[in-house]
Homo-oligomer: A and B are copies of this chain.
């Protein structure tokens, strides 16, 4: 953990200048607008440690580097998110010295603020240069949510004394990825252009020929006159803007940027489109753009804010998570998905993981219009043929589908065998998301339209992947990696087997539903996927019924995998803090053979299928696995929060809530400099709504709430959508109030009791902390 940021309900605040914190802050203060993103790199020169990062949604690189023995079935490439040309750069030269805080004589009153209410990054400082000049600087920047191809920076300098200032706003195509081998460059720069107060650059990615155009307009105020010289070379374009500044008088440069990619334009239109974006932005002007930005965020917060009273730490945490989720994914472009690091770092390649289904969808189901989740489901439906091809590469037949672990276009694009080939539980998450969507929306038609085909492909996969053990007289699933990636190539991972069984059963159920509701479409699908109705679902049933689920009789717990009890049974609190996180201190083999669990695994299954288990069973499993879990995956603590709340342990739930909500702000796992954990932020939201709020939808399709409240909070409030209706839930230490924004009477189950709320009204119930406990 590293806590250097100030706590505030609406803002992330860094005070005081520390180069050691800079890379972490670059991540934490990142900006995005669903279409592009930018780490909080400085505009002016910075020679200290940094991870330069500017990212364009959907633009990636297929890396074919090979190491070690190549395995049959590996994908041709793995996808890398690209650090794109740098459009934020503004060099500042004062009387011949380049402003660079890393080299300056003295930096005072440094402050960096991420205003989450309005989506603006603000920085201010006073600096004394080595040449003796002293300046106050203030910068503001944002990526317009309303105009996703526009970025804007207002850079103000107030010198203590008269001086000569040269601003050089520029666009620089000479960038690298930190993770590139041999310093390989991923971009060709096709065209650069510069004229007075404007510049542009057209870039092209190597291999896949994505194109991105950047255009800039610069505007200076506060100086009597300035001399402007366009500058460019083959990778770079910009302007030298020289001016005489007067003591104590502020000069301001505003840089308007347009960024357009070939995902949305024809190649030949790109440069003009970007120029038009920049010009429009200049025309509208900084203040108006800022007003738009505030209005846009106000609307987001109105619908998705969670308010916590009496606990600034917790309040800041949840808003940080909601803020970044909304910066990353807006649901507008069905070709996009939610990368685990969003636009905040290179790791995980900006690609799609099971995170989307397991974490993102529960969040969007409750906060976004139904069509957003439907789009995310259809995204996978469109990849079904590629999932079938992927399974084929691994030897499966008859239309069995294995969705990729990591993908950008439906193809698998990661090549570590223990993940690519073995982390097959992702297939379960994708099937479960369909079920989850339907139980939250009632949109059963989705099965006939898209869902059933996916479910058949997945059921076929599991029925082939399970093999029969003569020794156990059971079906077994050998050689997998479960959600807990601190185990590889294990046999009968409980979670994997559990969700496999569920998939097999749900596919049969879905067959029945579609056959009953939509016999014509049913016949069409049967023909399309060549389903043998006389045998296939019988095989699924037999595998599901006879699938081995490991259990430990001594501890009376579901057993994470065969042989888990052979490990030395130690708990995480016995480990010295000096070796945490273990993945930064232990070699891989040591991690693998330890009992330590990276993230909820058996408990992930207990969470998903909670209604099957009584509270005592959940409690026993939680008591066994929680102490063995090191939460070195960001996806872990939220599930533990929810289960801790479920078994009446609000203190543990609160501890885990802080961990998930402040994972990045407080850098629990010493890795925030690499980027933020975007997908787990949805888990933070679930921690409150499903954890403290006790929100559930079981098989019966009813909305349930059973709120508790941590003792640290005075009250908290959240909004949820259910069947496209909006509800507001407010929980105090004494009572629960549910207000309905719906147009019709809403039924729900509060503490196990059916209630009905009329439109525009609320009901109140006393808090019942004993309901589960």
A interface residues, Cβ below 8 angstroms from B: 64-69, 71-73, 78, 179, 181-182, 184, 393-395, 414-418, 421-422, 467-472, 476, 478-479, 488-491, 562-563, 565-569, 583-590, 592-593
Residues of B within 8 A of A567 (CB): 467, 469, 478
Contact of B593 with A467 in the complex, beta carbons under 8 Å:
yes
Residues of B within 8 A of A562 (CB): 562-563, 566
Q: B78, B181, B414, B491: which contacts A65 (Cβ < 8 A)?
A: B181
A469 to B563, CA, bound (A): 10
Contact of B469 with A590 in the complex, beta carbons under 8 Å:
no
Residues of B within 8 A of A67 (CB): 65-68, 78, 415
When A and B form their complex, which 4 residue pairs have the shortest distance between CB atoms, in order from nearest? A73-B587, A421-B589, A479-B593, A471-B565
Q: B490, B566, B588: which contacts A417 (Cβ < 8 A)?
A: B588
- In the assembled complex, how far is the CB of residue A394 from the closest CB belonging to chain B, in whole angstroms? 4
Contact of A68 with B414 in the complex, beta carbons under 8 Å:
yes
A and B contact pairs by CB, cutoff 8 A, 30 listed:
A64-B181, A65-B67, A66-B181, A67-B78, A67-B415, A68-B78, A68-B414, A68-B415, A68-B416, A69-B416, A72-B585, A72-B588, A73-B588, A73-B589, A394-B587, A395-B587, A395-B590, A421-B588, A422-B589, A468-B568, A469-B565, A470-B565, A470-B569, A471-B565, A478-B566, A478-B592, A478-B593, A479-B592, A489-B489, A562-B566
Known A489-B592, A563-B563, A569-B470; judge A72-B586 contact (CB<8 A): yes
Residues of B within 8 A of A490 (CB): 489
How many monomers of this protein are in the complex? Answer: 2
Q: B491, B566, B588: which contacts A472 (Cβ < 8 A)?
A: B566
Contact of B491 with A489 in the complex, beta carbons under 8 Å:
no
Residues of B within 8 A of A593 (CB): 467, 478-479
Residues of B within 8 A of A467 (CB): 567-568, 593
- In the assembled complex, how far is the CB of residue A482 from the closest CB belonging to chain B, in whole angstroms? 13
A64 to B567, CA, bound (A): 34
Closest Cβ neighbor of A414 among chain B residues:
B68
A654 to B393, CA, bound (A): 37
A567 to B562, CA, bound (A): 13
Closest Cβ neighbor of A585 among chain B residues:
B72
A685 to B282, CA, bound (A): 82
Contact of A417 with B65 in the complex, beta carbons under 8 Å:
no
Interface-centre pick from A478, A491, A587 (highest chain B CB count, 10 A): A587
A620 to B651, CA, bound (A): 59
A415 to B78, CA, bound (A): 18
A471 to B566, CA, bound (A): 6
Residues of B within 8 A of A568 (CB): 467-468
A149 to B638, CA, bound (A): 67
Residues of B within 8 A of A422 (CB): 589
A761 to B643, CA, bound (A): 84
Contact of B584 with A72 in the complex, beta carbons under 8 Å:
yes
A468 to B566, CA, bound (A): 8
- In the assembled complex, how far is the CB of residue A584 from the closest CB belonging to chain B, in whole angstroms? 7
Given contacts A68-B78, A422-B589, A479-B589, 17 further A-B contacts (CB under 8 A): A64-B181, A65-B181, A67-B67, A67-B415, A68-B415, A73-B587, A73-B588, A181-B181, A181-B182, A394-B589, A395-B586, A395-B590, A467-B568, A469-B567, A478-B566, A488-B489, A491-B566
